[in-house]
Amino acid sequence: MNRLEGKVALVTGGSMGIGRAIVDRFAAEGAKMVISCDINPCEFEQENVRGEILNVTDREGIKALVKKIVEEFGTIDILVNNAGITQDAPFVRMSEAQWDAVININLKGVFNVTQAVAPVMTKHKKGSIITLSSVVGLYGNIGQTNYAATKAGVIAMSNTWKKELARKGAQIRVNCIAPGFIQSPMTDKLSEKAVEGILSGVPLQRMGTKEDVANTALFLASDESSYITGAVIPVSGGLSF
């Protein structure tokens, strides 16, 4: 039996990279419908995947989309908060605009979308909320004060929501995934020396793939993780700073 049979999922930032891999994995596991939301339009071949344009800073747009999904499918079983950006700079030279842009999408955006979806899950007393954090949110990283703050912040919010949303017997689970160095077109451009430097701190001696992250999201979305909430699962090959 497919692991997400009959489930309705909403994935932000689902048009490319890790988000696209999660959308594809959920669809392959029999989800009734996977709604992939992104600021840019995207086409999907699967019949059980739909692309929607959404800006996670647009609270009214989020409310309208959630209402539309519920009217058509009755509920939202799974939410994956994946949308995010980086605007890196050394702390002392980071502009207020760089700080605000990353905070608004990576942190407030997660707040906005989850606040709109949570009442739907509360009504049905079940659901899985999965937010993409990062090892940078656990350990920090040079040049990423804004990004680190957001990725640590979503962990703190999730630990609060796991308590608030599970009241009155509701089986709403709230977890985070913390990817490490994941292979991407950007990392493919790195020199061999740069890659060796990265892998020197990774016990498994390889970069992760977007499918590694998608498989973890699938586990957290499925009933196999029914007694897991408040977890932060590193998908990092054992990376430590």
Residues identified as active-site? 147
Tokens linked to 215: 């498989």
- Each as own residue / partner, the long-range contacts of residues 137-141 (CB below 8 Å, 24 or more positions apart, any chain) are 137/178, 138/178, 138/232, 138/234, 139/240, 139/241, 140/241, 141/241
CA 4 – CA 231 distance, rounded (Å): 20
- Residues with Cβ within 8 Å of 147's Cβ and at least 6 positions away in sequence, in order, are 86, 87, 88, 102, 106, 134, 136, 141
Residue 170's nearest CA partner among 128, 137, 125 is 125
Q: What is the DSSP letter of 37?
A: E
